[in-house]
Structure 1
């Protein structure tokens, strides 16, 4: 429950437009149980949209695009292994934090270890 509250707060802070857009994939073509759960849950749908936008931003700014893609594929395997809404929400929360960290590193706002300064 705590994760869903934190997660919902992140989503509101990230983009209110994401709530109307739904997930980054086409729900009419959802084939896995996880994709169907995401489509059925507005919070997870918004999380997918927010994370997809952040992933594209990080990928574009990265000097190591292959590494970012590999991390995304690994995360998708983790997310797709989930069997509950809470598990999926935790997976999105974790990935959001990872991507946000990479975004800050790419912008020079923080060092790769999370410290600030040179």
Structure 2
């Protein structure tokens, strides 16, 4: 957070508002000045959007990693705490993906190192 001391203009504004409201000069000046740019990352993290952005990156790389055939049968669904959950349309795709799980995980980690993917889990449905 950006904690700046109040400027002269800020003090004048505060005094005008305090006078208009009929209150004593109070703790309003002690509140930190926050810049919207400084809050954006915090808001994204609290809203859970940071993981969503990573999931979009994973989805973009998924077809290249598993190939066109398996891409039609699967979709990355959630990404939480380093675990990617992939939904499968057909149970037969589960066997093929389990055989290649280690390779898929390694390729995801190489392609998207910032995502910090620790594991891949496959779910039907």
Same-fold call, TM cutoff 0.5 = no
Q: Higher helix fraction: Structure 1 or Structure 2?
A: 1
Q: Higher strand fraction: Structure 1 or Structure 2?
A: 2
TM-score by length of 2: 0.27
Larger RCO (CA under 8 A, 6+ residues apart): 1
Larger radius of gyration: 2
